[in-house]
Amino acid sequence: MATSRNTGTGAPGVRRRGTELERAILDATLEQLGSVGWTGLTMEGVAARARTGKAAVYRRWPSKADLVADALRSGLPTPEEPPDCGSLREDLIQLCERLRAAMYSSSGCALRAVIDECDRTEAERFVEIIVGRVVEPGKRMIGEVVRRGIARGEVRADATGDLVVDVVPALMMYRHKVTGAPLERSDVVGIVDQVMVPLLRPRTG
């Protein structure tokens, strides 16, 4: 009588191929980056997590950097339009909540591992991804929220510089790294109410 055989590449008796296998490997890479970091990540570990052989990984990606770059490209969210609630405060809170969710997503944890652990030479491999998929979209959304606030009279007209759009992500990363604790909604509200709204409010007198 024939018996099913576990191939080690997925569910018993099922061999994944093509895009299905590639997706499993990329997902495993993000998970491993989030749990063991850049330094601890190995092609063998990714293969084990994806339940495939390491040869299947090396056939597609000749190096760890190539694999991580593709995993980040596939896992990072597509840039969205900024919230438009009709209020500067509500727009900023919703936007900060989006950024917070992205920070603690699988791809966000993976990206932070790369940023925290790569040396300068290694990090150059990922600059285009980080800037193009994370930094610039985030700054664009914050800038749009600020411009809408200017149009409504909630924000002073000169609050359009690069430093303004850097404040939210810089504070969020600083708070996370210094305290070592996950950002909570109360932290988001504090950043908006104690820093951003006073910073952007039109001057009086």
Residue 7 has pLDDT above 70, yes or no: no
- Alpha helical stretches, state H, 61-184: 64-75, 88-103, 106-117, 120-124, 127-130, 136-152, 162-179
Residue 199 has pLDDT above 90, yes or no: yes
Residue 139 has pLDDT above 60, yes or no: yes
Are 103 and 134 contacting, i.e. CB atoms less than 8 angstroms apart?
A: no
Tokens of 144: 């749009």
Residue 79 has pLDDT above 50, yes or no: yes
How confident is residue 15, by pLDDT bands cut at 50, 70 and 90? low
Phi then psi dihedrals of residue 201, to 5 deg? -60, 140
Contacts of 93 (CB under 8 A, 6+ apart): 188, 189, 192
Residue 178 is predicted with a pLDDT of 86
What's the CATH class of domain 88-200? mainly alpha
CA distance 149 to 1: 73
What is the average per-residue pLDDT within 156-173? 92
Tokens of 200: 């952007």
Per-domain boundaries in the chain: 18-64, 88-200
What's the CATH class of domain 18-64? mainly alpha
Residue found by looking up tokens 């990363």 in the block: 173
Residue 24 has pLDDT above 50, yes or no: yes
